[in-house]
Amino acid sequence: MAARMSLVYGFGLFLLSRTFALKPNPAAREIILTKSAMSTGITTSKLPKNLLVHELEGDDSHVHLLLASKKKKFTQQQLDEISLDFAISLDEVIEEDKSVLVTASNFDQGSAPPNPAAILKRARTRHLKTYLLDKPMNTQECASCRSSSSPPFSVSDCKVVDHAFIDLEEATQDVSEIVCVDGLVCSSLRKALLDIISPGDEIARENRVDETFWTKGAYNDVAGKSSGGYGLKPEMMEVLNKQDEGGGAGAVTELGRRIQMYLEEVNDGEAVRLTKLPSAVFGPQVAPLGGNAPTHADSEGDSDAFGWHIDGDPNLTPPGAFRDCYGLYGNRLGGDKPRFISALVYLNEEWKPEWDGGTEFLDPPTSETYTTQVEPGRVVLLDSDITHRVTTPAESAGGNRPRYSLVLKLLLRKEKLKKGRKGGGGGDIVMLAKKTTGDKYIGSAASFNKDL
């Protein structure tokens, strides 16, 4: 690994060197690759010294290289052979990461080179399809989850946290949102969702966690780190995450349908696209659906049983398919860059306010917090990059009474972008609530409110 890193460093210095000028040559080879590919250890050390390597225009996630013969010492055929050797060395490096985009094409030096933007667009389209990065979530209506008296939804609370400046073409102010929606999940849908993660006796599951389906110490609220709380067993996670596959309709597809309907209504009827977080974003260890069941007993001897964490941030995606297509960017950027959101649904049939057990959110600049109140069927929509944690129920709830919830990690964007708009730049952002909802600005977000 150390050798690879040194090669990357050497390669980076080589690309940054602009001491030579690109002159007409009898042969050239164009290669477009991702910066994430470079980070895995690509090297040009095997290329002949009298080969000209020139970096052309690129973008925030791609490098566009031109390999050209220097002083007319290479024919096109020889250059093709050199490029093939280089491609083989690339294959060796990226064998562990099949997502890396590498596109190459020939052109005569006397003619105009291919359009790199067009090449990247075709490669990106292939990537989106191959890695399901833009696949719409199954939102079929589920007849068995209908309610004869489903009340209209209402936004009971809307909070704005974490004021920050993002340095794009110009400084842009940014905040994150937390929206509590009631009435979206009726009693029949709530029960159907709870039946998935904790099937069996309805009365018993309200008073204790059934260890047939849950296991202590398996709840992952931070990637790669488990807490002391109950988490779904692997076989139950598999069942949950396959609920909307195969084109069938069920409780999860109905939940997705209602969330989509809500988002389209608050966005003035514009169609939106929901995509379950693909495994190609953070890896298969970060599932798009999960459940948790904290109890008061989790906090015994540990007042901080569940750690602070974020569900996801597009500016922290590792090298791979998603980053190849979109690069690193700030959440809520708009355009064709999806917004990372999470949907949290509280599933208990009964939950008293004094039992606590809500989800706590943090404004890092000021350390001010906000905790949602648990209500049966309440949906909490939040930006996935908000720092938050599970809180354990109060002693009055009983030591073993679980507070059940289901979590969906989603990518969200508008179905159709405005004409003439290219990806990114702060427009076409999908709103989580209407601005007339009466936002309450928490901590650092209060300064954002003053600037409006």
Cα Rg for the chain, rounded, in angstroms?
26
How many Cα neighbours within 13 Å face the side chain of 47?
Answer: 25
CATH superfamily, domain 143-451, is q2cbj1_9rhob like domain (2.60.120.620)
The pairing of beta strand 154-167 with beta strand 440-441: parallel
d(CA 303, CA 414): 41
**pLDDT attached to residue 448:** 81
Domain boundaries, the chain: 2-130, 143-451
CATH of 2-130, one of 3.40.50, 1.20.120, 1.10.357, 3.30.70: 3.30.70
**pLDDT attached to residue 418:** 61
**pLDDT attached to residue 274:** 96
**pLDDT attached to residue 318:** 83
**pLDDT attached to residue 406:** 96
Classify residue 384 as exposed, middle or buried by CB count within 10 Å of its CB (0-12, 13-18, 19+): buried
For the record, the structure tokens of 45 come out as: 């050390």
CB atoms inside a 10 Å sphere around CB 391:
22
**pLDDT attached to residue 9:** 31
Tens digit of pLDDT at every position of the chain (452 positions): 333 333 333 333 333 233 233 333 345 555 656 555 555 445 555 566 656 665 555 555 556 566 665 555 566 666 666 666 665 555 554 444 444 444 444 445 455 555 545 655 666 787 788 889 999 999 999 988 877 655 688 999 999 999 887 765 556 788 999 999 999 999 999 999 999 999 988 899 999 999 999 988 766 655 545 566 788 999 999 989 888 776 678 999 999 999 999 999 999 999 999 999 999 899 888 999 999 999 998 877 555 567 899 999 998 988 777 877 787 888 988 778 999 999 999 999 999 999 999 999 999 999 999 999 999 999 999 999 999 999 999 999 988 899 999 999 999 999 886 654 444 444 578 999 987 666 789 999 988 876 55
For the record, the structure tokens of 424 come out as: 């990114």
**pLDDT attached to residue 306:** 79
Dihedral (Cα; 216, 217, 221, 226), 10-degree rounding = -160
**pLDDT attached to residue 145:** 85
Instruction: Judge contact between 194 and 201, C-beta under 8 A.
Output: no
Classify residue 156 as exposed, middle or buried by CB count within 10 Å of its CB (0-12, 13-18, 19+): middle
